[in-house]
Amino acid sequence: MSDIALGNTGAGRVRAGFDFDHAALETWLKAHVTHYAGPLEVEQFRGGQSNPTYRLTTPQRCYVLRRKPPGALIKGAHAVEREARVQAALHAQGFPVAPIHALCEDAGVIGTPFYVMDMVEGRIFWDAEIPGACREERGAIYDAMNATLARLHGYDPAAIGLGDYGHSGNYFARQLARWSRQYREDEAAGRDTAMDAAIAWLEANLPPDDGTVRVLHGDFRIDNLIFHPTRPEVLAVLDWELSTLGHPLSDFAYHAMMYHVPAHIVAGLGGADCAALGIPGEADYLAAYCRRTGRARADDYRYCMAFNLFRLAAIFHGIRGRVIRGTAANAQARERAEAFGELAQLALRATRGF
Give the CATH number, domain containing residue 295: 3.90.1200.10
Residues 6+ apart with CB under 8 A from 187: none
How confident is the prediction along the chain (354 residues), in pLDDT tens digits per residue?
444 443 445 788 998 889 999 999 999 999 999 999 999 999 999 765 578 999 999 999 999 999 998 876 666 667 899 999 999 999 999 999 999 999 999 999 999 999 999 999 999 999 999 999 999 999 999 999 999 999 999 999 999 999 999 988 889 999 999 999 999 998 888 899 999 999 999 999 999 988 899 999 999 999 999 999 999 999 999 999 989 999 999 999 999 999 999 988 888 999 999 999 999 999 999 999 999 999 988 989 999 999 999 999 999 998 888 888 887 656 678 888 888 999 999 999 999 987
Question: What is the torsional sign of CA 251, 79, 316, 232?
Answer: negative
Query: Identity (one letter) of the amino acid at 296?
Result: A
Q: Are residues 103 and 141 in the same domain?
A: no
Q: What is the number of structural domains in the chain?
A: 2
Residues 6+ apart with CB under 8 A from 251: 149, 152, 153, 214, 216, 217, 218, 220
- Domain membership of residue 130 (yes or no) is no
Q: Are residues 183 and 64 in the same domain?
A: no
Kindly state the DSSP code that residue 325 receives in the 8-state scheme: H
Range of the domain at 47: 3-118
Q: Are residues 36 and 180 in the same domain?
A: no
- Which CATH number belongs to the domain containing residue 41 in this structure? 3.30.200.20
How far is it, in rounded angstroms, from Cα 76 to Cα 214?
20
Question: What is the torsional sign of CA 258, 233, 146, 45?
Answer: negative
How far is it, in rounded angstroms, from Cα 251 to Cα 76?
20
- Domain membership of residue 312 (yes or no) is yes
